[in-house]
Amino acid sequence: MIWRPGLRYKVMYSDTSQVIIRLLIAGFCCSCSNLKDKQPLEQPIPKRLPFEFRESVAMADLIEPDYTLVPLLADSANMIGAVSKIVFKDSLIYIMDGRITQKIYVYDTKGRFKYSFGELGSGPGEYNTLTEMIVTGKNIYASDGSDFTLLCYLPDGTFQYEMRLDYWLYEALPYNRQQLLVYAPTDLSFNSANEALVLKIIDADLITEVAGFFPYQEAHDDVPFRGYLCAYNNTYSFARPLYNKIYSLDSARNLYLRYELDFGVHNWPISVQQISQDPEESERLFREGGIMSIVHRLLETKEQMVFQVIMMPRDNSGADETANTWLCIIDKSKDKAYAMHTVADDSGLTMFTFPIATAGNRFVSVLYPELFNEFLGRLSKDELQTLGKRLADPTLIRRSYQNPVLLIYRFKAQLNI
């Protein structure tokens, strides 16, 4: 674990006072740097998890029947395209569409549209590419992936100010009070070839780096996507996608290896063991498109930790990504892990898609209207009424929806698969 103070502000006083202030700062840094030696008394022993593979699992064996459906209702001017991120906070649902409309939408828990904000452009409060949304108790931050800017809004969408970063912010979570846990490249330049990825904590207001983790050379083979960070009960977890490892960070900044994932010799297009043992080979395979991601969309609740594995054939042109995607569940209480290829239901049209968020102790998946309406179309009037009881607002039962529907559910506490 590395602690690197990053004080960067300029002091505009006389030379002497500048020297004194710098000495004081240096002294402060030295005293603080002693913290790096302050290891927790007992480092948790990482758990090695061998995976059990299942080709097909019935949805009824996987998900508790007490699921809820939240159709997101909006007028034609506020249609959501592709849902990139969902955050539940203070009885509101924040939804980021970073792919089609590039906006942030806010709904209440019954699925009623409240407001949307964020626009493409170069004016105040506008961005070129919406790449990340961070919802803290106080503010909402939107990251502009094309010019290193973090924009700050009030929870009602009022633009406050923007801050210039000197790196790309791939992914971030609120950490403690007014701090952010960030997954980002270390490099300062926009188009640099020497990019390495680290996990760090920054102060949310000053963008001052408070602590950094993973030496650069170790992080070099990690993947520049999102979906590797999650938080549950003051434990912040990070999946290192090409290393088959899940790290956790507590609120006192102690980073420890939590799980070592053992995928065995499963017949994926590429051997995971080979990837984790040979970083150069793994990077080459990643560049060629063979690996999409090994540990991706990491989520945690009280009972489970869930993530995706996407393995494409080496020549992946025209390959179906869905067919190469696996759902992995870690049963935390039993330290058992499962990898499932398909999850099927009785109707022949599965409602289940990979979870994208957590809401308390439940998982959240997005059902897009094309598929969901087809599913509704097959139901009889009685079946539709029964399903209607699952709606967050049962008065809103319809034959077709224009916007995505959120499926909120629990995996079975005793997985019977």
Partner 1 sequence: MTLTKPPDKFWQLLVVLLLGLTTTGLVYNHREKEEVKEQLAATQNEWQACLAAGKAMASIMARQWQLAGCKMRKGLLVRNRQGKTVLLDSLVEKYNDQLLVLRFSWRSCQDCQLQEINYIQQLRSSHRAVIIASFETFRDFELYMQTYKVALPAYFLESGKDLLANRVENSSDVYSFITDSTYQMTRVHVGSTSFPQLSQTYYQTILVN
CB of 111 to partner 1, least distance (A): 18
Decide: is 129 part of the binding site for partner 1 (CB under 8 A): yes
| Residue 311 CA: distances (Å) to CA of 241, 245, 285 | 12, 17, 11
Q: Is 279 in the site for partner 1 (CB under 8 A)?
A: no
d(CA 124, CA 119) in angstroms, rounded, equals: 10
Cβ of residue 63: shortest distance to partner 1, in angstroms? Answer: 23
- In the complex, the smallest distance separating the C-beta of residue 262 from partner 1, rounded to whole angstroms, is 32
Q: How many residues interact with partner 1 (rule CB under 8 A)?
A: 30
- What is the 3-state secondary structure of 106-126? EEECCCEEEEEECEECCCCCE
Q: Is 19 in the site for partner 1 (CB under 8 A)?
A: yes
Question: Rounded CA gap, 102 and 119, in Å?
Answer: 7
**Smallest distance, partner 1 to C-beta of residue 193, A:** 7
d(CA 138, CA 27): 33
Binding of residue 193 to partner 1 (CB under 8 A): yes
Single-letter amino acid code for the residue at 61: D
Residues numbered 106-125 forming contacts with partner 1, rule: CB under 8 A: 120
Report in angstroms how near the CB of residue 370 gets to partner 1 at its nearest.
5
Residue 65 binding partner 1, by CB under 8 A: no
Contact 351, 342 (CB under 8 A): no
Per-residue binding letters, 137-156, with partner 1 (x by CB under 8 A): ---------x----------
Residues 6+ apart with CB under 8 A from 196: 185, 186, 187, 216, 217, 219, 220
Q: How far apart are CA 363 and CA 79, in angstroms?
A: 23
DSSP string, 268-326: -SS-HHHHHH-HHHHHHHHHHTSEEEEEEEEEE-SSEEEEEEEE--SS-TT--TGGGEE
SS3 content of the chain, % helix, strand, coil (to 5): 20, 40, 45
Instruction: Choose between 16 and 395: whose C-beta lies nearer to partner 1.
Output: 16
One-letter identity of residue 244: N
CB of 385 to partner 1, least distance (A): 26
- Give min distance, CB of 217 to partner 1, in A: 19
Q: Is 191 in the site for partner 1 (CB under 8 A)?
A: yes
Residue 298 phi, psi (nearest 5): -75, 130
| Minimum distance, C-beta of residue 101 to partner 1, in the bound complex (Å) | 5
Binding to partner 1 by CB under 8 A, coded x per residue (else -) over 78-107, reads -x-xx----------------xxxx-----
CB-wise, 18 or 235, nearer to partner 1? 18
Residue whose CB is less far from partner 1, 45 or 193: 193
Q: In the complex with partner 1, which residue's Cβ is closer, 116 or 276?
A: 116
Site residues for partner 1, 286-325, by CB under 8 A, read 315, 317-321
192: contact with partner 1 by CB under 8 A? yes
By CB under 8 A, name the binding residues for partner 1: 15-16, 18-19, 79, 81-82, 99-102, 120, 128-129, 146, 188-193, 315, 317-321, 368-370
